[in-house]
Amino acid sequence: MSTATKALHNRIALAFDFDDTLAPDTVSSLIESCGMDAEHFWQERVQPRVQDGWDPIPAAMYTLIAESRQRSDPAEKITRERLVDFGRNLTFFDGVPELFARLRRRAQETLPDIEVEFYLITAGIVETARRSPIAQHFRAMWGCDFHYTESGEIDFLKRIVTHTEKTRYLSQISKGLDNHKEVGRPFDVNRSMAADDLHIPLSQIIYVGDGMTDVPCFSMLNEAQGVAIGVFKTRTAQKWGEQNKVSAGQRVENLAPVDYREGSELLHSLTLAVEMLCKQIALRRQSQGE
């Protein structure tokens, strides 16, 4: 390859947010499944902590830990087992279970030997996502993760993923630091890496998210010429923009209702994004051997 041509990476990645992107807000559903009213939990228990200076994500997770600790009946405690059961029974937005095979097939029809990888980056509880029926499709999943007591009760947060922290995991994907390679080596992500050595350049990553915790990822990919796609559930596209106060650098390529079925705008957008990246790689291949 000539030094005048861009580095070639035969791989693309799709990274997804979880809550309200692939499944309806799972943290709120978990709260309800633990016998609490979700609105009361967020407004009356989490919000006062936020007013007191807590970051919203650890505020919510600590509120869950405090709730479990005050329950005297062992059967009522919030345990890993409960999170696992909850995860196993999760349901997804329409078309999600078929999405991964569909996009991989489309990519391979465009460029037969392309590698397609899927990742999950959530500010919610990753244990529930890990046990969910779609977990097998992801090369790595990152999110808030608990340390548990010997009896399995949630005890402390061993990993916190917030909005800006999500961009760290885009860097990890780019540098090939997936779940196993990063364990025990949390600072490897900071090492600079030559473009040729990257696992996947950010420009070959598609990120899909629904809201405020995703804005830093949208910005990062916009800057790096990757693809950012926004989804919305009940709001209109215009309301999404207003609510998320998206500035020019944070805009997404497209904003579509969260419906991944055949014929939907969202599946069409993702298909176009996958085809575009595959064609870009095919174009760069023409320079190989020159």
Residues that bind Mg ion (CB under 5 A): 17, 19-20, 210
227, burial (CB in 10 Å: exposed 0-12, middle 13-18, buried 19+): buried
| Smaller CB separation from Mg ion, 19 or 178 | 19
Rounded Cα distance, 258 and 234, in Å: 9
Shortest separation between residue 209's beta carbon and Mg ion, angstroms: 6
Q: How near is the Cβ of 117 to Mg ion at its closest, in Å?
A: 20
Alpha-carbon Rg for the chain in angstroms: 20
Q: How far is the CB of 7 from Mg ion (least distance, A)?
A: 32
Q: Residue 168 or 175: which CB sits closer to Mg ion? A: 168
- CB 25 → Mg ion: shortest distance, Å? 8
Residue 246 to residues 117, 219, 242, 250, 266: CA-CA distances in angstroms? 28, 10, 7, 6, 20
Spatial contact of 255 and 240, defined as CB atoms under 8 Å apart = yes
CA atoms of 278 and 99, how far apart (whole Å) = 17
**Tally of CB atoms within 10 A around 60:** 24
Nearer to Mg ion, 148 or 232 (CB): 232
DSSP, res 45: I
CB of 214: closest distance to Mg ion in angstroms?
6
**Residue 14: other Cβ atoms inside 10 A:** 26
Q: Which is nearer to Mg ion, 143 or 201 (CB)?
A: 143
Q: Which residue number, 20 or 67, has a Cβ lying nearer to Mg ion?
A: 20
